[in-house]
Amino acid sequence: MEKKISVIILGAGRAKRLGLNFPKVIIEVGGQPLVFYLLDTLFSLKNLIKQIIFVVGFRKELVKEVVGKKYPGIEFVEQKVLNGTAKAAEIGLKKCKYSHVLILCGDMPLVEKKTLLNLLKLHFKKDADCSFVTTSVSSESDLGRVVRDKNNKVIKIIEKINLKKEINEANSGIYCFKKDILEKQLKKVKMDRRKKEYFLTQLIEILAQENLKIITYFLKENKQFTGVNTPSDLICVYRLLNQKFIEQTLKKGVRILDPYTTFLSYDTKIGKNSIIYPFTFIEKNVIIGDNCKIGPFVHIRENTVIKKGAQIGNFAEINRSYIGEESKVKHFSYLGDAYLEKKVNIGAGVVTANYDGKRKNKTYIGKDAFIGSDTILVAPVKIGKNALTGAGSVVTKDVKKNSIVVGVPAKFLKKRS
């Protein structure tokens, strides 16, 4: 049997309940678009998955631009009329090259490689016509429930509101079909009269009535299947992702004192024996070396590198900057577009005035320099090795090495020994 799979990602919807005029699949969460987490997982299964088809609809050009830039091999198809998941799958199916089709929603970033691999292995092993993942949920969950007959065979999926008795087994929304079965049976899906849409879930009942082979892979732990339909869902997904980032970081020998007030990004890199204090927010593309101390109340923004032994303290913001080994930025400071060499000391309240209204400018600070409290460094500016600025100085011109400057604007006072 051919063990090659085409994937259809459903990502055409408007997400009205989110209240945004923006496709939910590319909302940035934890430093990257929501759907990128799922795509990275799918690409990790490249031995099985040979084709990915992305169904777009609402603001399709924006989705294609964002997704296509990082994943150039993905194929896009448009669902012009947003009339349900069954019709989206039907549109995607026309491009499928392989004899098995995996279908997922684009708003489930927590789905793990192991889960998909186990589903696909079971699908092939049992030679199933349809396989799908089920999970255990509480009575409050809105996921559709899996209905079985007295012989424990799946007979349909129904919405929670239509339940006549409590059922805790729910549909995750992840399916694998034989392509020929899917092509034939999708045509039988009827419009839901109440919602005026064609739902993929109806296909399970159709397959059961045709006595086709339906297999389920049950996973008790349900957080992997958290989707994003409301603002509350978005909060929940980010919380779960952040928990995952923190767990991965802890395994690398980093101390995080309070995981509930520490916020990382998907690609955060922190070295061994570093300590992250409470109320620290780290954006994407940040690298922190070994033996660093970060926080509390710190915001490390994009494209920042903090080298071994450096310290970033209370109420500091670092943006697009390089902080050299054993340098200290301890209190109430803003460093933007700055480059600090080794053992630089940044006093309380120091600001790099990096934006002149038109462009962002650079500040360079040499090794062993001491920047006094409340100094404003008006970029572009260079502070030489072992130089010192007096408290409250406004530095508008380059400062030579071993020099002490003071005043507004700062002027040379004397040599620093």
Q: Which residues are catalytic?
A: 331
Residues 6+ apart with CB under 8 A from 357: none
Q: What is the DSSP string of 116-157?
A: HHHHHHHHHHTT-SEEEEEEE--TT--SPEEEE-TTS-EEEE
The letter for the amino acid at 397 is: K
Q: How many CB atoms lie within 10 A of CB 59?
A: 15
Q: How many CB atoms lie within 10 A of CB 149?
A: 10
As a whole number of Å, the end-to-end CA separation of the chain is 79
Q: What is the DSSP string of 6-43?
A: EEEEE-----GGGT-SS-GGG-EETTEEHHHHHHHHHH
Q: What 3-state class would DSSP assign to 279?
A: coil
Token pair for 17: 């309940």
Q: How many CB atoms lie within 10 A of CB 378?
A: 18
What is residue 87's DSSP assignment?
H
Helix (H) or strand (E) holding 91: helix 85-93
Q: How far apart are CA 220 and CA 107, in angstroms?
A: 20
Count of all residues that appear for the chain in the document: 417
Token pair for 100: 């098995």
Q: How far apart are CA 286 and CA 139, in angstroms?
A: 41
Helix (H) or strand (E) holding 389: strand 388-389
